[in-house]
A = this chain, B = another copy of it.
Amino acid sequence: MKIALDAMGHDEGPAKLIEGAALALREFPDIAKLFLTGDTPRLETELKRIGCNDRRIQIVHCTQIVEMNDSAVDAVRKKKDSSVSRAVDLVKAGEADAIVSAGHTGAAVAASTIKLRTLPGIERPGIAATMPTETNLFVLIDAGANTDPTPRQMLDNAIMGSVYSRHVLGYANPRVGLMSIGSEDEKGNNFTRETFDLLKSSGLNFRGNLEGHDLFENPVEVVIADGFTGNIVLKTSEAIAHAIFGWLKHEIYKSPIYKLGALLAKPAFKAIRKKTSADEYGGMPLLGVNGICIIAHGGSSPYAIKNAIRMAVESIRHELNPHIVQEVKRYHESSPAPHTHATT
């Protein structure tokens, strides 16, 4: 399989991307070719720095970079020679099977959606974030691609999330829950109540509404939310985990006894930090575009980049998109969902 890495899209430039690429090449022999899109001299310098001369690497030179303050759609229209655009072009041309980008999320979503188009039956793509509970992994979809979806688009996300959970994460019959503010059926806002009805009659393994503590105490494998709510759940969760570990550290530094205790218990802390770290999951697939697109954090470590590339490898290996097309078709044939309009 062939993967295109947006080799300039990272908060700190290409260094960590290149290190992550080298890790992935070592770990995944399935990768036949890894395209690196970006500034050739810079990328060559980075490859030399880490002593990587893997012959599967092919640099695709381009001259532009999407900056964080660029608007997503402008970036696609005006920066045609950007590293993310060129990576998507490779998939469009059939030269690569997947894009991995840790750059401007909006630009990666827009470039993939505009250039690759959506899969048959899908109106808008959704970002699927993988999150841990004590006993399982769930995908939260949509983590930010579509901030004002229609209920029908929410249903499509539920179908796509279920396919991802089944075929890539390996859950035989993933349970689906709707992010809301209480577990009773009537809880929520006007939009979630409309979505609830559609999910309930969908034939999916729908378990109703769930609220914060259900995510961890009564876990399901697929959590549905609009892109605004999903993004807030994801970022708030990361922020709380980060804040708690930070506060604990400051508290522990107040006494040498606490410090000694923390030192003894360090492996336990590390296990939980690892579990709650976004690096473990590395990337978030943008489900619904006609090609594999994995979105990674702008501050990804090399390890996170390697994991994002792993996610691309697994999505290709498990034929994610053909399965999505088949399932969407099956659902819409068996229960034609009414087309509804966005709540704007």
Contacts and interface: CB of A to CB of B under 8 A. Distances in A.
Interface of A: 69, 71, 133-134, 144, 147-148, 179-181, 184, 186, 188-190, 192, 211-217, 226-229, 231-244, 246-248, 250-252, 254-255, 257-269, 271-272, 275-276, 343-344
Contacts of A227: 181, 189
Contact of A264 (B215, B240, B260, B276): B260
Contacts of A258: 264-265, 267-268
A236 B233 contact: yes
A121 B226 CA distance: 32
Contacts of A71: 186
Residue of A192, A241, A252, A260 with highest tally of chain B CB at under 10 A: A252
Contact of A243 (B133, B226, B344): B133
Residue of A217, A241, A267 with highest tally of chain B CB at under 10 A: A267
Contacts of A240: 212, 216, 236-237, 240-241, 244
B235 A232 contact: no
A144 B10 CA distance: 37
Given A181-B231, A344-B190, A241 B244 contact: yes
A259 to B, nearest CB: 8
| Identical chains bound together, number | 2
A254 B188 CA distance: 40
A267 B248 CA distance: 10
Given A211-B231, A251-B268, 15 more contacts: A133-B243, A148-B190, A179-B232, A211-B232, A212-B232, A212-B236, A213-B238, A240-B241, A241-B244, A254-B268, A255-B268, A259-B265, A261-B265, A261-B266, A343-B344
A216 B228 contact: no
Residue of A147, A214, A246, A276 with highest tally of chain B CB at under 10 A: A147
A7 to B, nearest CB: 24
24 contacts: A134-B243, A134-B247, A134-B250, A144-B181, A147-B189, A148-B189, A179-B232, A181-B228, A181-B232, A181-B235, A189-B228, A211-B232, A212-B239, A213-B235, A216-B242, A236-B236, A237-B240, A244-B272, A247-B275, A248-B268, A252-B265, A257-B265, A260-B261, A265-B265
Residue of A192, A243, A251, A276 with highest tally of chain B CB at under 10 A: A243
A108 to B, nearest CB: 15
